[in-house]
Amino acid sequence: MARKKIDESRRDFLKTVGVVASASASLTIAPEARARQALATLGPGEVPVTLTINGRRHQLNVEPRVTLLDAMRTRLEITGQKRVCDRGACGACTVIIEGRTYYSCSMLAIEAQGKNIRTVDGLANGSTLHPVQQAFCDNDGLMCGFCTPGFVMATVALLEKNPNPTPEQAKRALDGNLCRCGTNIGVLKAALAVKGGARG
């Protein structure tokens, strides 16, 4: 298993190197493309991207293929949201955009521009936890903690939309997040415990 992982990343690396070599070749079509149509073609090299995360604007240069999650974690040191499956199948990377939950691993950074992106890093007020974070602590809502930032954001999104959810509504809203440690019961308890206190 571990060995396969290493092989895979080495292969990816080799591929990436190959691609960089051919990227310069594909750049030569740019003048022709410009003549044919006015639409801007960005990349494949790095392009300037502006992201608004937890109310702060960040300017960075990334290739169009970089996901929002990787841009946050590897370029901006905003590491609250975790990278687990990287395939939209676990929820560890969940962010809130315009009141809704998104998997930041399955969204390109370039497409996240102009939006107000919220992560777990922006929840606490100084050393005072957000009521949802506090409720997770009080209700045994975490063990290893890897899924927790995603669950916390999904819970915040739920409670901001529906401050007094029924257990059924809470279950459905937290359906997009998985926990390997089995904290789900505690998470549900936490979500219901902050009833009415979400805006804290």
- Name the 3-class secondary structure at 170: helix
* Residue 9 binding target from ligand FAD, other proteins, ligand FES, none, CB below 5 to 8 Å by type: none
Contact call for residues 46 and 62 (beta carbons, < 8 A): yes
We find the least distance from the C-beta atom of residue 170 to ligand FES, in angstroms, to be 17
Task: Give the span between the Cα atoms of 60 and 51, in whole angstroms.
Answer: 8
Which of 14, 42, 124, 144 touches other proteins (CB under 8 A)? 42
We find the least distance from the C-beta atom of residue 89 to ligand FAD, in angstroms, to be 4
Nearest alpha carbon to residue 110 among 54, 34, 59, 39: 59
* Residue 101 binding target from ligand FES, ligand FAD, other proteins, none, CB below 5 to 8 Å by type: other proteins
Going across the sheet that includes 94-97, the strands are 56-62, 47-53, 116-118, 94-97, 100-103
* Residue 15 binding target from other proteins, ligand FAD, ligand FES, none, CB below 5 to 8 Å by type: other proteins
* Residue 3 binding target from ligand FAD, ligand FES, other proteins, none, CB below 5 to 8 Å by type: none
Amino acid at 59: Q
**Structure tokens, 54:** 């937890």
- Answer yes or no whether residue 65 interacts with ligand FAD by CB under 6 A: no
Q: Residue 69 or residue 192: which is nearer to ligand FAD going by CB?
A: 69
Instruction: Name the pairing type of β-strands 100-103 and 116-118.
Output: unpaired
Amino acid at 99: G
- Answer yes or no whether residue 89 interacts with ligand FAD by CB under 6 A: yes
Show contacts of 60-67: CB within 8 Å, 24+ apart: 62/109, 62/110, 64/108, 64/110, 65/108, 66/108, 66/109, 66/110, 67/104, 67/105, 67/106, 67/107, 67/108, 67/109
- Answer yes or no whether residue 91 interacts with other proteins by CB under 8 A: yes
Residues 128-167 that bind other proteins (CB under 8 A): 154
Q: Residue 154 or residue 192: which is nearer to other proteins going by CB?
A: 154
- Answer yes or no whether residue 163 interacts with ligand FAD by CB under 6 A: no
Q: Residue 69 or residue 194: which is nearer to ligand FES going by CB?
A: 69
* Residue 195 binding target from other proteins, ligand FES, ligand FAD, none, CB below 5 to 8 Å by type: none
